[in-house]
Amino acid sequence: MSFLNIKMPKIKFKKLKIDNNILDELQYIDYEKLERKNVKNRNTPYEDVTHYKTVKEFFLKSIKQYSQKPCILEKPKHKEPYKVITYEQFGEDVLALGTALINILKLKDKRIIIIGETQYEWYVSYMAMLCGVGIAIPTDKELPLNEIENIVLRSNASAIIYSKKLENTMKKIKDENLGIEYFIQMKSYDEIEKNDVGLNYLIEEGKKIIKNGDDSFEKIEIDPEEFKILFFTSGTTSNSKGVMLNNRNLAENINAVSAYVKIYPVDRLFSILPLHHCYESTIGFLLPIATGASIAICEGLKYIVPNIQEAKPTGMLAVPLLVESLYKKINEKIVKSKKEKLISTLISITNATKRAGIDVKKKVFKEIYENLGGNLRIIVSAAAPIDKKVGQWLQDIGITFLQGYGLTETAPISALTPEYNPCVGSVGKAIVQADIKVENPNENGEGEILIKSPTLMIGYYQDEVETKKAIDEDGYFHSGDIGYIDENGYIFITGRSKNVIVTQNGKNIYPEEIEMLLDKQDEIKEVMVYGKKPQEDSKKEKEELIITARVIPDYTKIEELYGKISKDEIYEIIWKKVKEVNKKLTSYKAVKNLEIKEGEFEKTSTMKIKRYKELSDSKN
């Protein structure tokens, strides 16, 4: 499952029946008998921080320490219940696959592409690579054939582990004779035939080798600094680069999270995002493995609600589009149930009791929790800006809302919200191992965010020039993000340096700020703001750019609010909404031009609009 060029499905929740009598019940709670918690916020990280040097270190620890606990939950078929795979089984399968890849296919130290939808075999394959096989190349399954072929050639891959749904794509790659030694199909027991083999067959054969006394794969020692992972980014402002990472980069992510957020063996993360993205494969996979928690695989976007209600996760990684969709759907149910005033009152009361050290939110908002499985305690949003009111609302109903900040180049975490002292609107504080600063801040304290961290990449693959551009002589990575850091160390991102629109007077306009305001309008589904020349053929370099909003209307919402109307009327309605937003902006930031876009924006796997692609296509 990927978020590339797909629409969010309709999310359906049960009707809320929160009884007004709950206000009376709150009055009669014996608060004195309830356990009061220490309400003093921490200002320092947790003391019991982990110090892993490699992924294999915590993998071997967890498969022994949590052997009989659930590790991964996957649905064999849609209508069947989740199947539970224990840490013991996961460990056996990883060691067996690694043993077979090295002993049978002779792929030690070679490069292997992993491509396919999220499934158990993806996790097993990636972990086997990190534990000593060779260099893993997680790849987006939604890429067109020519781009997959390009990655095969650029990476010098020797094998491809792929899902059955990509069988036809693999046949085309075989025809091109690109030097692939083995095509390994997930969920297949097929024996080796020429260069085809089933992954499950390899696992079974690997188990036989281990049973005969060969534990050489388990004993392979991992060099924390050795190049072991190659991620090809799907950038929003340029073509993809190959990001080289090592075991230390990933292990330091786990250490970083342990200082700010507690994940327990009883926790369960809900896997929605694509695993080829560093955010999900590191924080959504390696983190729960390191802590003994479990992972429940979502079947796909349209199954989010039934899957989450069955799996009952305690945590979820998401992108803003998904979090905002859940927020909107729940609040639509609240409005339809005519409970908005009651919910508002309950939020005020429970916020007051929580400040006094008594948290009754989970009891009060039980019905909302049940729609989300009943156990959800943490939602983490990353990859793009999110409306502050969404995060605050989640906090208000008792779900800890955290934000993370980083890039593939930082594997990915460089900053994170401490759960013990959240700051909604910020992307968090620099992780304990990192040094983050603002370069040449302006009068508002804004400048480019620079990052020095042990999670920082080795460099760009076969591109020393770009590596030197990105990482300066002092070891700071130039993120391209614009932001500021407040007096408490919280980081706020305000835009991208490559997206900035500079006026004739030298004023900087960050499109993301305007987009955030426009996105709040019901009639607007998506928007991209950019600076447009007054005339396409204009050659006057100093001619002022026109601030332009390219909008995809929310036709469903518009019809619901205004009935069936013409395209011209839709334009006028949206233009009216744009002018309302302009009133909230300083004059030089005001949108002066509106374009209605048909179809969808092309996006990356984390739902960021590919601006360079959108603008280059419009010129053609």
CATH number at residue 596: 3.30.300.30
Is the peptide bond preceding residue 274 cis, with omega within 30 degrees of 0? no
Domain's final residue, options 496, 531, 556: 496
Q: How far is 494 from 500, CA to CA, in rounded Å?
A: 10
User: What tens digit of pLDDT does each residue of 156-210 get?
Assistant: 999 999 999 999 999 999 999 899 999 999 999 999 999 999 999 999 999 999 9
Domain's final residue, options 175, 191, 221: 221
Q: How far is 607 from 368, CA to CA, in rounded Å?
A: 26
With respect to residue 51, please indicate whether it lies within any of the assigned structural domains: no
Residue (of 420, 428, 425, 482) closest to 450 by Cα position: 482
Q: Are residues 402 and 523 in the same domain?
A: no
- pTM of this prediction? 0.83
| 379 or 532, greater pLDDT | 379
Q: Are residues 291 and 426 in the same domain?
A: yes
To the nearest 10°, report the CA torsion of 575, 579, 582, 584. Answer: -130
| Residue 551 bridge partners (DSSP) | 527, 596
Q: Are residues 381 and 422 in the same domain?
A: yes
Q: What is the 3-state secondary structure (H, E, C) of 427-479?
A: CEEECCCCEEEEECCCCCCCEEEEEECCCCCCEECCCHHHHHHHECCCCCEEE
Q: Are residues 506 and 492 in the same domain?
A: no
* Overall average pLDDT of the 568-591 stretch: 91
Q: Are residues 563 and 487 in the same domain?
A: no
Q: In this structure, what token pair is assigned to residue 431?
A: 């992780």
| Residue 496 bridge partners (DSSP) | 481
Position 583 pLDDT exceeds 70: yes
Q: How far is 561 from 555, CA to CA, in rounded Å?
A: 10
Lowest mean pLDDT among 80-84, 381-385, 436-440, 561-565: 381-385
Reported confidence tier of residue 506, pLDDT bands at 50, 70, 90: low
Q: Are residues 479 and 515 in the same domain?
A: no
Q: How far is 510 from 494, CA to CA, in rounded Å?
A: 7
Q: What angle do CA 28, 34, 39 make, to 5 degrees?
A: 120
Report yes or no: 348 and 342 within 8 Å, Cβ to Cβ: no
Number of domains in the chain: 3
Lowest mean pLDDT among 357-366, 384-393, 487-496, 610-619: 610-619
Q: Are residues 422 and 511 in the same domain?
A: no
The upper half-sphere exposure of residue 96, i.e. CA atoms within 13 Å in the direction of its Cβ, equals 20
The distance of Cα 289 from the centroid of its chain, to the nearest Å, equals 17
Q: In this structure, what token pair is assigned to residue 50?
A: 């982990």
Show the domain range for 286: 22-41+279-496
Domain's final residue, options 221, 254, 287: 221
With respect to residue 54, please indicate whether it lies within any of the assigned structural domains: no
Q: How far is 584 from 428, CA to CA, in rounded Å?
A: 26
Maximal CA-CA distance, the chain: 76
Beta carbons within 10 angstroms of residue 435's beta carbon: 14
Report yes or no: 192 and 178 within 8 Å, Cβ to Cβ: no
* Overall average pLDDT of the 28-48 stretch: 77
User: What tens digit of pLDDT does each residue of 204-231 get?
Assistant: 999 999 999 999 999 999 999 999 999 9
User: Cα–Cα distances in Å, from 405 out to 102, 450, 481?
Assistant: 36, 12, 10
Q: Are residues 488 and 521 in the same domain?
A: no
| 512 or 77, greater pLDDT | 77
Q: How far is 133 from 228, CA to CA, in rounded Å?
A: 9
Q: Tell me, what's the pLDDT at 611?
A: 75
Beta carbons within 10 angstroms of residue 530's beta carbon: 19
Q: Tell me, what's the pLDDT at 3?
A: 36
User: What tens digit of pLDDT does each residue of 295-316 get?
Assistant: 999 998 889 999 999 999 999 9
First-to-last CA distance in the chain? 31
Beta carbons within 10 angstroms of residue 348's beta carbon: 10
Residue that is written with structure tokens 């928007």 in the block: 527
Q: Tell me, what's the pLDDT at 246?
A: 98
Q: Are residues 116 and 178 in the same domain?
A: yes
Reported confidence tier of residue 571, pLDDT bands at 50, 70, 90: very high
Q: Are residues 117 and 145 in the same domain?
A: yes
Residue that is written with structure tokens 């007004």 in the block: 20
Report yes or no: 343 and 334 within 8 Å, Cβ to Cβ: yes
User: What tens digit of pLDDT does each residue of 313-357 get?
Assistant: 999 999 888 898 889 888 888 888 888 899 999 999 999 998 888
Residue (of 614, 594, 616) closest to 604 by Cα position: 614
User: What tens digit of pLDDT does each residue of 231-256 get?
Assistant: 998 654 446 789 999 999 999 999 99
User: What tens digit of pLDDT does each residue of 53-66 get?
Assistant: 999 999 999 999 99
User: What tens digit of pLDDT does each residue of 450-501 get?
Assistant: 999 999 999 999 999 999 999 999 999 999 888 999 999 999 988 877 777 7
Angle separating helix axes 120-130 and 87-103, nearest 10 degrees? 60
Report yes or no: 35 and 356 within 8 Å, Cβ to Cβ: no
- 443 burial type by CB count under 10 A (0-12 exposed, 13-18 middle, 19+ buried): exposed
Q: Are residues 291 and 362 in the same domain?
A: yes
Q: How far is 110 from 97, CA to CA, in rounded Å?
A: 15
Q: What is the CATH number of the domain that holds 157?
A: 3.40.50.980
With respect to residue 183, please indicate whether it lies within any of the assigned structural domains: yes
Reported residue count of the chain is 620
Report yes or no: 387 and 512 within 8 Å, Cβ to Cβ: no
With respect to residue 26, please indicate whether it lies within any of the assigned structural domains: yes
